[in-house]
Structure 1
């Protein structure tokens, strides 16, 4: 078993890290203080990402994307986990579910998203249906050749800068052995469609500049051609293309933890107390040792899951293990780093308090830690009939 990265993989890591350090790091303080990414800066990042060949890196090469394989994409996302989240989001990776587009949808949504001409967002979460996705109440009802949508979505990331959303809505019910179950369908909805209103959502403490929004559908009429995939098969479509989203969270957590680790090691080597660097004290040195071990374990877990994904055999358990371990690892690492910095770790003149704040959301979005543990436990018990 060879754990070494290839020459091309190392070049990818070095190139993306250099891009982040050169094009994104210098703007972090601006975004942290203003809670905004100025439109001109967002466009500049998009243009530079396109020029560097980093835009739509997750999309197949024959569609105009970067064509990275699963391991390469994990390495790519790991490096993009280092800078401010709002800034790196403009190195856009269109939702993989757009690969389910057919016919005119490809020319209207998929290909423009890959070329950087249009931007998508995923509209699934609702106020009354977070982890219980099938509990959603937004409905799309047939009316002639059209669909009429009513309902609300919230916590919709970057909907404020997106041109269209990939909407999941209830389109009926079906009988199962466990009783009636909602049938979910997916639609492509332009944000300028009458009856759709995009409003600012609550302001989070994590990832300043990266906005979440609320989408309100009031008798929003969309054409039959807006249906993405088959009616009632929205979950199946999502599972086909979105299974690796939790892996993305995991890899980005690893990248951010590595940056925090670098800061903590430098501080422990330079900061002196009682006549010596604080890193020589076991109380600090052992923290660094545990942090490094935690990061290495999370890195190997995520890369193994990515490799399995590339072989077409990544399980829900693989992704769940990577996500829960890496996100909780990041929480431990950032917390210990603040402790190593002492009082200065909580000052906004240094970046540690930002990393500490930002780490908190990772255990919640894309499936809470509790949901990940449920997936893992279920995968262990089901083969035994439990």
Structure 2
């Protein structure tokens, strides 16, 4: 692996960072204060990204995307991690799972999503099925030529802006030596479909303005044309396209940690106590040293996972390690930054308290830290028969 960025990659980093600083930072206080992203502001950001040529940059060129490699896209996500998630949502990275669209689905869902004409939202989590995906109770039953869906999903991000939803539901049960095992199917569900309702969810302390929603299905009828992939093949679709999303969380955490670190570094260099800069005290300077070491380690771990994907190498354990380490690193960095700022770190005059609050969810969504440790340990022990 070459450890330096190419000229093109350096351009990507500089372009996205400049965009975040100019188009995202100025609106963050508004989002924090109101908990909302005005529709016109979201559309304005989206159009600027389209004009910049970065919308749907995670999709291949043959469907209208920028065709970035996994490593290139990880660099994009790292820079977007510096900004408010509620606002960078409009930078536009549709779910890669849409590449599973076939036939008319491509014209109705895939291509409009890549062009920025229709936004999507992914729906897997339920009140009783978070990490345990097969524990989902939302189900679809055959009725004539249709599927009838009943149940609910929650913690659905981006739902307020979505024109359609990518929904995983149970479509049967297999009896296995280890007990019943649910079959899962993925459906494409349009907003406004009869029997389908989208409601605002819970108030969260993390990522204000980036809301979560609850989806309700009450005898919602869907034809076979709405199945994404194969019937009962939801896990195959999921494993092909979704597991790398953990890498984007890791990249986000690295970007956010670097922004937070910049605040800690400058504050320690400027703030004076006992007649000298607090950076001269080992209690502070050693924290700064530990922070940058951890950030760099998380950065390289994340980029290594992306590189392995580009090389066609197995990367499941490496990506799990990146997500685990980067998300827990962000928690330590934001907490140390707040401590360095003292009481002012808790005041909204600085964005530190926001970084601190936002960091907490990264160890939970897209697979908890415990799930990542399970993936890592299972990968290590499986070859030994343990």
State the TM-score, normalized to the length of structure 2. 0.99
Instruction: Describe the superposition over 1:222-254 as per-residue Cα deviations: whole angstroms up to 9, x where unpaired.
Output: 111001110111011111011210000000000
| Residue aligning to 2:106 | 106
Aligned length: 386
| Residue aligning to 2:329 | 329
1:145 Cα shift? 1.5
| Residue aligning to 1:115 | 115
1:303 Cα shift? 0.4
Instruction: Describe the superposition over 1:101-160 as per-residue Cα deviations: whole angstroms up to 9, x where unpaired.
Output: 000000000000000000110110000111100000111111122111000000001111
Instruction: Describe the superposition over 1:160-184 as per-residue Cα deviations: whole angstroms up to 9, x where unpaired.
Output: 1101110101111123332321100
Distance of 1:209 and 1:44 partners within structure 2 = 16
Distance of 1:142 and 1:125 partners within structure 2 = 22
Distance of 1:316 and 1:181 partners within structure 2 = 23
The equivalences for 1:203-352 within 5 A come to 203-352=203-352
* Corresponding residue SS for 1:188: strand
| Residue aligning to 1:6 | 6
The equivalences for 1:1-386 within 5 A come to 1-386=1-386
8 Å Cα contact 1:101-1:228 kept in structure 2: yes
Distance of 1:342 and 1:180 partners within structure 2 = 53
Distance of 1:72 and 1:224 partners within structure 2 = 36
1:100 Cα shift? 0.1
Distance of 1:243 and 1:370 partners within structure 2 = 16
8 Å Cα contact 1:120-1:162 kept in structure 2: yes
Unpaired runs of 5+ in structure 2? none
8 Å Cα contact 1:339-1:345 kept in structure 2: yes
Distance of 1:312 and 1:150 partners within structure 2 = 39
State the TM-score, normalized to the length of structure 1. 0.99
Root-mean-square deviation (CA, aligned residues, Å) is 0.8
8 Å Cα contact 1:187-1:228 kept in structure 2: yes
**Runs of 4+ deviating beyond 4 Å:** none
Distance of 1:6 and 1:111 partners within structure 2 = 30
Distance of 1:245 and 1:376 partners within structure 2 = 16
Distance of 2:197 and 2:124 partners within structure 1 = 15
Unpaired runs of 5+ in structure 1? none
Distance of 2:124 and 2:271 partners within structure 1 = 47
8 Å Cα contact 1:199-1:214 kept in structure 2: yes
1:274 Cα shift? 1.4
* Corresponding residue SS for 1:304: helix
